[in-house]
Amino acid sequence: MRARDNPFRTERTDGLSYRAPGFGWSELLARLDAMGGRGAIRGKQGSGKSTLLRELEGRLAVKGLEVRRLRPSPDDRRLAKRQLRTWLTGVGPNTVLLLDGADRVGWLEWRRLVRSARSAAAFVITTHREGRLPTLHRCSTSTALLEELATELAGASEVDAIPVAELFARENGNVRTALRSLYDRFAAI
């Protein structure tokens, strides 16, 4: 199969919306307000944290806020520090800071970041573990979620032939890598 015809190509998987049982935007935004605009989106790798943060960016931008989203470099600490400094320049009461990958920020840099973020209207991070900010939302995955996403991308008839539960278990619940595995499976057709 040609890459552009693969139902699991990146442009399609990146276009999937965040979903979880019982999730609602009005509740999430109300919770963020109740938390003073500070909170963490927590979850394992591949559980939808970045997707949720990207969608939150759009919802806050519609309110007329200046939304800044940053994903620090995972490989270069110096670059990550420079990215953070640039990102924090001119933060004010109309600015929303969204940090995708707070786990990549060292403890000293984190303290500076929290101090600088005080003047922002909101500060939301994604993280794998508890502790940096109170939990705004906990992302999780399931076999049913993977099956739902795969069906949306490829159609029910194609997904019926896929051992979704086995794939979910093999990828340790990481939906992102499971979808990449499905890309490889369809590429071989």
Q: Which amino acid is at 112?
A: R
**Rounded to whole angstroms, how far apart are CA atoms 182 and 167?**
9
Res. 189: pLDDT tops 80: no
Mean pLDDT (the chain) is 93
Confidence band, pLDDT 50/70/90 cuts, at residue 75: confident
Q: Are 139 and 41 in contact (CB under 8 A)?
A: yes
Percent of the chain's residues with pLDDT above 90: 76
Res. 105: pLDDT tops 90: no
- Give the residue-averaged pLDDT of 132-156: 95
**Rounded to whole angstroms, how far apart are CA atoms 128 and 42?**
5
Alpha helices for 38-174 (secondary structure H): 49-61, 77-88, 107-117, 143-154, 156-159, 164-170
- Give the residue-averaged pLDDT of 31-46: 97
pLDDT of residue 144: 95
Confidence band, pLDDT 50/70/90 cuts, at residue 96: very high
Residue 64 φ then ψ, to 5°:
85, 15
pLDDT of residue 17: 95
Of residues 99, 79, 102, the one with CA closest to residue 91: 99
Q: Are 94 and 121 in contact (CB under 8 A)?
A: yes
Res. 176: pLDDT tops 80: yes
Q: Which amino acid is at 175?
A: V
- Give the residue-averaged pLDDT of 33-60: 96
Q: Are 40 and 134 in contact (CB under 8 A)?
A: yes
pLDDT of residue 167: 95
pLDDT of residue 24: 94
CA distances for 128 relative to 47, 100, 117, 167, 186, angstroms? 10, 11, 21, 22, 30
pLDDT of residue 29: 96
**Rounded to whole angstroms, how far apart are CA atoms 112 and 179?**
37
Confidence band, pLDDT 50/70/90 cuts, at residue 43: very high
Q: Are 66 and 94 in contact (CB under 8 A)?
A: yes
Q: Are 187 and 2 in contact (CB under 8 A)?
A: no
Percent of the chain's residues with pLDDT above 70: 100
Confidence band, pLDDT 50/70/90 cuts, at residue 55: very high
pLDDT of residue 80: 78
